[in-house]
Structure 1
Amino acid sequence: MAIVPVAASAEKADREKPTHIEADNLVHDELNQVSIFTGRAVLTRGTMVMRGTRIEMREDADGYQFGVIFPEPNKRAFFRQKREGNDEFMEGEALRIEFDGKADRVKLIDNAEVRRYRGAVLNDTMTGKLIIYENLTDVFSIDGQRTEAGGKASGGRVRAVLAPRSKTLEKP
């Protein structure tokens, strides 16, 4: 597993914003506090946006929200959030995205990729089997998770392209 200390603090105000979800259909279980949104589902919370074909949301007794986003067939689910205090965005895609509102954590699972944009310019790209974006600690962990598929080793490598920091973007 690679720990990539990328300064990537999410917009702190997002934690206090309401969660908005749009979809073609909704099934809500009031007793278990579970909602399943299907068909072009979009979750928005402040600057955070998540998209997929299915979003399963639940809320615990303390009011924390937890979600799982699944993509359309042959696509990946999508995540994007503004970074605190600057004109940078983190975005990612995976076959499954899990959101933990209590821990303020996003997990991108299977065929995962995270990109950092400074303004509209793509700066850094990281890929792996599992990417965990810890909003509270400003740390990414990326795991290649080498697996055996039909007796053959597959995957197992983390890949990252990190652009040098421009002198004009650094603050004195």
Structure 2
Amino acid sequence: MPSRLLPLLIVLAAVAAHAEKADRLKPMVFTQDKQGRIDSVNQRTELLGNVIITQGSLMLRAEKVDVRETRDGYHQAFASGTAGNPVSFRQARDVPGESIAGTADQLEYDTRTETVRFIGNANVRRMRGTTVADEVTGAVIVYDSRTEVFTLEGGSASPNPNGRTRIVMMPRAQPGDAAAPASSAPAAALPLQPSTTLTPPRKAP
């Protein structure tokens, strides 16, 4: 079986229910426990030890992060975790009470494209409060927070058997369902849907 499966594109929602739009206008804040290094000439910041990056509702946690600022003022963050302590990412959606949460061995975040790349044992979930609404796993998951499109890739770094990707879609609550009141599911929250018109993001060389 090939070590890498073909990329799979899925769309989280077809309605205008994107990641929190106000986040892009908020300052990016960095905190850490251990050492750091700021290179003003090369516009590069290196952080080490329980690093936390926040920007509005967005929160990224990692053991080590390398942040680089582009000439036009955007940031690219390269984060890595440790054994048993992966990188984590969370960001609110415009749908009240919903968020995107994910973990991976490594993570790349680009403020220009507003994409998050989960690399190695990648797991991304759409949360409704504390409840998992949808979940995707694979070797690599690329999340575009502007369009809420995921690109999934299988391979040897996938947590699933034989390097496969995996998608879990929870059943939606129906009106009158005593086990799951209709009020618990916002009307704008739609299930994951296959995309046949989008192409996967280009990989960095």
Pick the aligned partner of 1:5 from 3, 11, 15: 11
**Residue in 2 aligned with 1:63?**
73
Tell me by how many angstroms 1:77 deviates: 0.5
Determine which structure has more spread, i.e. the larger CA radius of gyration. 2
Query: What stretches of structure 1 of length at least 5 have no aligned partner?
Result: 148-153
- Which letter does structure 2 place at the counterpart of 1:53? E
- Secondary structure (helix, strand or coil) at the match of 2:82 reads coil
Deviating beyond 3 angstroms after TM superposition, the runs of 4 or more aligned structure 1 residues are none
Per-residue CA deviation, residues 116-155 of structure 1 (Å, 9 max, x unaligned), is 11112112111000100011222111111368xxxxxx74
Query: What stretches of structure 2 of length at least 5 have no aligned partner?
Result: 1-6, 175-181, 189-205
Tell me by how many angstroms 1:164 deviates: 2.1
Per-residue CA deviation, residues 58-85 of structure 1 (Å, 9 max, x unaligned), is 1111110110111123321100000113
Query: Residue 82 of structure 2 contacts residue 105 of structure 2 at CA under 8 Å; is this kept in 1?
Result: no
Aligned-pair identity in percent equals 34
- Secondary structure (helix, strand or coil) at the match of 1:14 reads helix
- Secondary structure (helix, strand or coil) at the match of 2:163 reads coil
Q: Is 1:171 matched with 2:187?
A: yes
Q: Is 1:23 matched with 2:39?
A: no
Greater strand share, structure number? 1
Distance 1:37 1:133 in 2: 24
The two structures, once aligned, show a CA RMSD in angstroms of 1.7
Distance 2:151 2:66 in 1: 24
- Which letter does structure 1 place at the counterpart of 2:25? E
- Secondary structure (helix, strand or coil) at the match of 2:24 reads helix
**Residue in 2 aligned with 1:132?**
142
- Which letter does structure 2 place at the counterpart of 1:56? D
Query: Residue 95 of structure 2 contacts residue 186 of structure 2 at CA under 8 Å; is this kept in 1?
Result: no
**Residue in 1 aligned with 2:177?**
none
Tell me by how many angstroms 1:170 deviates: 4.3
Distance 2:23 2:150 in 1: 19
- Secondary structure (helix, strand or coil) at the match of 1:13 reads helix
Q: Is 1:105 matched with 2:115?
A: yes
- Which letter does structure 1 place at the counterpart of 2:28? T
- Which letter does structure 1 place at the counterpart of 2:152? I
Query: Residue 121 of structure 2 contacts residue 139 of structure 2 at CA under 8 Å; is this kept in 1?
Result: yes
Distance 1:9 1:158 in 2: 24
- Which letter does structure 1 place at the counterpart of 2:11? P
* TM-score, reference length from structure 1: 0.90
Q: What number of residue pairs does the alignment pair up?
A: 166
Per-residue CA deviation, residues 6-40 of structure 1 (Å, 9 max, x unaligned), is 12621011011100010022101111000001011
Which of the pair has the greater relative contact order for Cα pairs under 8 Å at 6+ separation?
2
* TM-score, reference length from structure 2: 0.76
Tell me by how many angstroms 1:165 deviates: 2.3
